[in-house]
Amino acid sequence: MDPKERSSDKAAQEMIKRMAEAGIANAWDRLEAQSPQCGFGKLGVCCRICAMGPCRIDPFGEGPQVGVCGADVDTIVARNFLRAIAAGVSAHSDHGRTVAEVFLATANGEAKDYQIKDTIKLHKLALELGVEIKDRSANEIAVDVGKIALAEFGKSEGTQLMARRAPAPRQEIWKKLGITPRAVDREVTESLHRSTMGVDQDYKNILTHASRVALADGWGGAMLATELQDVLFGTPYPGRGEVNMGVLKEDQVNIIVHGHEPILSEMIAAASQDAEMLAEAKKVGAKGINVAGTCCTANELLMRHGIPIAGNFLNQELVISTGAIELMAVDVQCVMQGLTTVANCYHTKLVTTADKAKMPGIEHVSMEETAALDTAKELVKTAIGNYKNRGEVYIPEEKESAVGGFSFECINYMLGGRFRASFRPLNDNIINGRIRGVAGIVGCTNPKVPQDLTHTTLTRELIKRDVLVLTTGCATIACGKLGLTNPAKALELAGPGLREVCETVGMPPVLTCGSCVDNTRLLVSCSEIVREGGLGEDISEVPVAGACLESVSEKAFAIGQYFVASGLLVVFAKEIMPILGSENVSNYLFDGIEKDVGGRWAVESDPVKAADMILEHIEAKRDALGINVEKERKLYDMADRRALSIE
Ligand code: SF4
Ligand code: MSK
C-alpha cells in the first residue's frame, strides 16, 4: 500500500517505506494480514462470556438471533460495550491509583526523588477535600490528601468526591438516575458482574451502568490522576517544544519514553540531565543525551518540561526503525507487542518498567518509587552503553514547533490575568458569537484510517469556523506534527472571531491540554464555563462537543461515555463503534440517552462532515440559550437611563 494511504505524516511515510524495503512489518502490515477482519466483532454481536459459547448473532436475520443462553443481540452488544468501557476505566484509574501511591509515599518521605512541586494546587485540593491546611507543612497536608485520594479507588461507602465539581443540576441528574459514581473498584467489579452470563439482560440498564462506571473514571480515577500529577510534578503552563521524528539527534544518545505514567518518564528526564550521565555520554562519543516521548507520556513531558515528542501511537515502531534509538523504556498502556520484533531488527534496547506490564524476552527493570532516580540512571547508563552498537541511522527531517501546557489553571490565568483569573472572557466571547463554541478533539491513531488525518482535518475545519479546540492524547500529537499547536501557524487558519479573541488574550486557537487522563481538564473547564454564568445551568446547555475519529483503545470508549454522561455530544468514526449490530442499542446511544443524561453519541467517519455535525450541535445549543439572537442596537435617551435599575 502507498505510504500516503497509511499516514498523512511525511516522516511516518518515509519510515513506512524504509521498513517495507527492509522487510520489517509494522501495525499497518499486520492490519493488512488480518483483513478482512471479523464482521461479527465489528458489529459487536459475538459473545464469548461463557463456556456454552462462543455465540454470534446473524446480522442478516437468517441465522441464530439468540445465543445458547437465550441472550439477544441487544444484551450481547450492550454487555460488550460495558465491558470495553470498564476495561478503559480500569486502565486510567489504575494509572490514577499508582500516582496516588507515589504521591503518598512522597508525602511520607519514602519516595525521596519526588517532591511536592505545586503547593498552591495542593492547598486548593486540600480545601476541596476538607483537609486542614493552617500551620501545616506541604508534606503533612499531602499525606492527608493522598490518603483520601487513595481511598477513592476502593472505599466501601459513599460516592466520588471529585464528582462534586460538576454543576449542581448535573449532580441532580446523576442522582435521579442512580449513576453518581461510587468507588472505582466497585463500579468496575459491578460492570463485570452485570455482564457475566445470566445477570443483567436489559440493554438500557446495562448502558446506564456504563455511564456510572465511566463517570467513576472521568470524575474520579482519571481526574485524581491529573490533579495529583499536577501537585507532584507541577501544574503545566505553556512552554515551547518540538514534535515529530526530526527531534531525534544523530550525534546524541536517544532515549524514548513510551506509555502513560509520568512516574517513570519524569525520573528519566531528570537522570538524562545529570552531570555524571552527560560525562559518560561524552566518553562514548555522543554530544549529549536526548530524551523524547511517544504517546501520552510524551504529552506529560512536553506539557511540564518542553521535552520533545517523537510521535504518537502509530509512530512507536517507526521511531525504532530510524536506527537512532539506544533505549526505549515503556511502562503501561498502548505499548504494541510488535515493538519486540522491530527492536530485535535494530540495536534498540527495549525495557519494561511496570511490574504489571512485562514483555516476553524483554529485559524488565522494576521502577520502585523508593529508588526511582537510581533506576532511571541505570536505564540511562544502559542507553549510553548501547550507543556504540548503532548501525545505519536515518532520521527524517520533519519536526514542528509546538506550544503545550494548557492546564485548566493556565487557561483561567490566560483569560483573566493573575489577579482576576477567570473564564469570563471566554464566556463573553461565546455569548457575543466571536467564538461559536468549544470542541475537544481527543484519542489515538488507528491504522484503519490514514494516520493523523481525521484529527488534523477536523481541527482545521473547526478553528476555521470559530470553534476553540482543546486537544489531548495522540490527537494533540497529530495536531502538533502539522503545526496546529504552533500558535503562529494555527492563528493563520482560525476564523476571524476566534483569531481576534486569541490574539487579544495571547492564546492559540488549539490548546494542548495533555494526556488521556487529562481529558478531565475538559470536564473541569466545562463546569467552570457553567459556573462563570451566562451559558446555562448545566454542561449539557453549553455549546461544546467532543470527537475521536481515530480511536484505538477501550479507554477511548470510557472517555466517550463519561463525556456523554456529563451532557456532551461525542462523535466517533462509524467503523470503530462496535455497537451497530444492535438497532436498539444504537438508537439509545445515538438518541434516547440524550433524554436521560443530556449528552449522546454520534458516528461520522468523514472529518469535514463531523465538523458540520459539531457545528450544527453548537448552533442548536446557542439557539436554545438565546445567544444567537441579533441584539437590536438601542440609543438611550435620558428617560431610558433613568429607568435603568442598578442593583
Ligand atoms: Fe453464548 Fe450466552 Fe454464553 Fe454469551 S453468555 S457465550 S450468548 S451462552
Ligand atoms: S496514548 S489511549 S493511543 S490517545 Fe493515551 Fe494515544 Fe489512545 Fe494510547
Calculate the average pLDDT of the chain: 96
pLDDT of residue 416: 75
Q: Which three three-digit cell numbers place residue 399?
A: 519536526
Task: Please tell me whether residues 260 and 215 are part of one structural domain.
Answer: no
User: Ligand 1 centre and the CA of 46: distance in Å?
Assistant: 9
Quote the percentage of the chain above a pLDDT of 70.
98
Would you tell me how many other CB atoms lie within 10 Å of the CB of residue 627? Answer: 17
Whether 439 shows a pLDDT value over 50: the answer reads: yes
555 ligand 2 Cβ < 6 A = yes
Whether 215 shows a pLDDT value over 90: the answer reads: yes
Task: Please tell me whether residues 77 and 211 are part of one structural domain.
Answer: yes
CATH of the domain at 471: 3.40.50.2030
Whether 328 shows a pLDDT value over 80: the answer reads: yes
Task: Please tell me whether residues 137 and 101 are part of one structural domain.
Answer: yes
Residue 414 confidence class, pLDDT cut points 50, 70, 90: confident
pLDDT of residue 634: 65
Instruction: Show the domain range for 487.
Output: 403-549+604-625
Chain segment 454-474, per-residue pLDDT in tens: 999 999 999 999 999 999 999
Would you tell me how many other CB atoms lie within 10 Å of the CB of residue 156? Answer: 9
Q: What is the mean pLDDT of residues 52-80?
A: 97
Residue 638 confidence class, pLDDT cut points 50, 70, 90: confident
Domain boundary among 211, 233, 255: 233
561 ligand 2 Cβ < 6 A = no
Query: 638 lies in a domain?
Result: no
pLDDT of residue 637: 75
Task: Please tell me whether residues 353 and 253 are part of one structural domain.
Answer: yes
Whether 283 shows a pLDDT value over 60: the answer reads: yes
Closest ligand (CA of 68): 1
Specify the ligand 2 atom closest to the Cα of 313. 3
Quick check: 601 and 593 in contact, CB under 8 A? yes
Task: Please tell me whether residues 49 and 139 are part of one structural domain.
Answer: no
Whether 422 shows a pLDDT value over 90: the answer reads: no
Look at the block and give the residue holding cell 486548593.
124
Domain boundary among 179, 209, 233: 233
Query: 570 lies in a domain?
Result: no
Residue 417 confidence class, pLDDT cut points 50, 70, 90: low
Nearest-CA residue for ligand 2 atom 8 is: 334
pTM score, two decimals?
A: 0.96
Cα(152)–Cα(97) distance, integer angstroms: 9
Q: What is the mean pLDDT of residues 126-146?
A: 98
Nearest-CA residue for ligand 2 atom 3 is: 444
Task: Please tell me whether residues 223 and 87 are part of one structural domain.
Answer: yes
Specify the ligand 1 atom closest to the Cα of 47. 4
Task: Please tell me whether residues 221 and 106 are part of one structural domain.
Answer: yes
User: Residues enclosing ligand 1, CB less than 6 A?
Assistant: 47-50, 52-55, 67-69, 71, 76, 197
Specify the ligand 2 atom closest to the Cα of 295. 1
Residue 476 phi/psi, 5-degree rounding, is -60, -45
46 ligand 2 Cβ < 6 A = no
Chain segment 591-628, per-residue pLDDT in tens: 999 999 999 999 999 999 999 999 999 999 999 999 99
Task: Please tell me whether residues 277 and 199 are part of one structural domain.
Answer: no
Task: Please tell me whether residues 21 and 78 are part of one structural domain.
Answer: no
**Residue 496 preceded by cis peptide, ω within 30:** no
Whether 246 shows a pLDDT value over 90: the answer reads: yes
Q: Which secondary structure element, helix H or strand E, spans residue 402, and what is its range?
A: strand 400-404
Q: Got the DSSP string for 428-467?
A: HHHHTTSS-EEEEE-----TTS-BTHHHHHHHHHHHHTTE
Query: 66 lies in a domain?
Result: no
Pairing state between β 569-572 and 363-364: unpaired
Q: What is the mean pLDDT of residues 296-310?
A: 95
Query: 561 lies in a domain?
Result: no
Whether 491 shows a pLDDT value over 70: the answer reads: yes
Query: 641 lies in a domain?
Result: no
Residue 421 confidence class, pLDDT cut points 50, 70, 90: confident
Cα(483)–Cα(478) distance, integer angstroms: 9
pLDDT of residue 647: 43
Whether 646 shows a pLDDT value over 70: the answer reads: no
pLDDT of residue 642: 73
Q: Which secondary structure element, helix H or strand E, spans residue 487, and what is its range?
A: helix 487-493
Q: Running DSSP on this structure, what letter comes out for residue 606?
A: S
296 ligand 2 Cβ < 6 A = yes
pLDDT of residue 321: 98
216 ligand 2 Cβ < 6 A = no
User: Ligand 2 centre and the CA of 385: distance in Å?
Assistant: 31
State the virtual CA torsion across 120, 487, 307, 114 in degrees, nearest 10.
10
Task: Please tell me whether residues 229 and 249 are part of one structural domain.
Answer: no
Query: 538 lies in a domain?
Result: yes
Task: Please tell me whether residues 470 and 617 are part of one structural domain.
Answer: yes
As to burial, measured by CB atoms within 10 angstroms (0-12 exposed, 13-18 middle, 19+ buried), residue 427 is buried
Q: Which residues contact 161 (CB under 8 A, 6 or more apart)?
A: 128, 129, 148, 152
473 ligand 2 Cβ < 6 A = yes
Quick check: 276 and 311 in contact, CB under 8 A? no
User: Ligand 2 centre and the CA of 260: distance in Å?
Assistant: 8
Whether 501 shows a pLDDT value over 90: the answer reads: yes
Query: 289 lies in a domain?
Result: yes
Based on the structure, what is the number of domains in the chain?
4
Nearest-CA residue for ligand 2 atom 2 is: 553
Task: Please tell me whether residues 613 and 484 are part of one structural domain.
Answer: yes
Whether 531 shows a pLDDT value over 50: the answer reads: yes
User: Ligand 1 centre and the CA of 65: distance in Å?
Assistant: 12
Closest CA to 561 of 531, 530, 519, 529: 519
Query: 578 lies in a domain?
Result: no
3-state helix, strand, coil in the chain (%, to 5): 55, 10, 35
Degrees, nearest 5: CA angle 599-461-629: 60
- 3-class DSSP state for residue 471? strand
